[in-house]
Amino acid sequence: MSKDHTLSDEHEELRRTVEEFAHDVVAPKIGDFYERHEFPYEIVREMGRMGLFGLPFPEEYGGMGGDYLALCLALEELARVDSSVAITLEAGISLGAMPVFRFGTEEQKRAWLPKLCAGEMLGAFGLTEPGAGSDAGGTRTTAVREGDEWVINGTKCFITNSGTDITGLVTVTAVTGRTDDGRPQISSIIVPSGTPGFTVAPAYSKVGWNASDTRELSFADVRVPAANLLGEEGRGYAQFLRILDEGRIAIAALSTGLAQGCVDESVKYAKERRAFGRPIGDNQALQFKIADMEMRAYMARVGWRDAAFRLLRGERFKKEAAMAKLYSSTIAVDNAREATQVHGGYGFMNEYPVARMWRDSKILEIGEGTSEVQRMLIARELGLTG
């Protein structure tokens, strides 16, 4: 594996293919979906036909036989145009299908992965609760074993891809017991959509990501087979920490895409918009602003690719993933703010992509680990505790 972050011919071909798809298919349509707060089933189906939902999974389960770098390259290119579509793919793979692939039994993999890889079905990741966000260890949802079934009670919130017409499962973290010193033992359990007692609330009214699906879930005496346990009982929290470590690289790539998209739109507008008889891009103050935006996007790309290459080489990557996620999400917000400024009044109009990017950027500093959590992780990796 190369250590200079050079893309293979296959990776570069994939990147170009997704770039073309984003500009030719997503860009002309997504604005209308976004304004209507409507899930873009047509676009998602096309992504499934392209094999994007199966990118990092083996062919034996219906995947494309690629890797996590391939996924991240696709996410960056999609997010250059729209983050709702990008987060639908990221959550569908990293949070929906990946837990099944990483920790599922062979039977579970063969039951769920083919449709998830084809994009015919979406999976969701039920971790966050109203009283347990960053403190995932504070989970209150419970699962009690009764014979050959788990009985689940509790609530999850802010769950992506959980209420679409093609959502097939939610993997739920729940307390299944206590250690000798009283600490909760958390396990992961697959809950198929439509299971009695499993209620999906109406979609949230959100600031951004308006063409993606995000909902609250409730479980009232939900019964699923004991065989739906994902991985080892009591290891659910540790399992999801691994999933989140990888997911941070994906969110960093997505954030980088949004930051680069802000550059793309600003350069285009600066060349077209005229004031005082010349393009506004002739003004050095504006040139410097856009140059700084490009620099930030470039450095964010270097960061997430370094973390991704470490993951592929089997090296430790927790610190690098946290740094990449922290930096890229921060500069995504910075670039979105500056792109709006470059566009002036038009940057405040939803018909311009930068308005959508501005609205979409803030959640990147919150989702899959807040900026504060990333700093905690980095400090711990440096040996600082307490």
Task: List the catalytic residues.
Answer: 368
CA-CA distances (angstroms) from residue 207 to 121, 212, 263, 363? Answer: 26, 12, 22, 9
Report which DSSP code applies to 352.
S
Q: Are 354 and 336 in contact (CB under 8 A)?
A: yes
Residue 133: Cβ-neighbour burial (10 angstroms; 0-12, 13-18, 19+): middle
User: What is the rounded CA–CA span in Å between residue 331 and residue 51?
Assistant: 30
8 A C-beta contact, residue 294 and residue 256: no
Q: How far is CA 132 from CA 74, 214, 308, 352, 363, in A?
A: 31, 17, 29, 36, 17
d(CA 21, CA 48): 12
> Half-sphere exposure (CA, 13 Å, Cβ side) for 148?
2
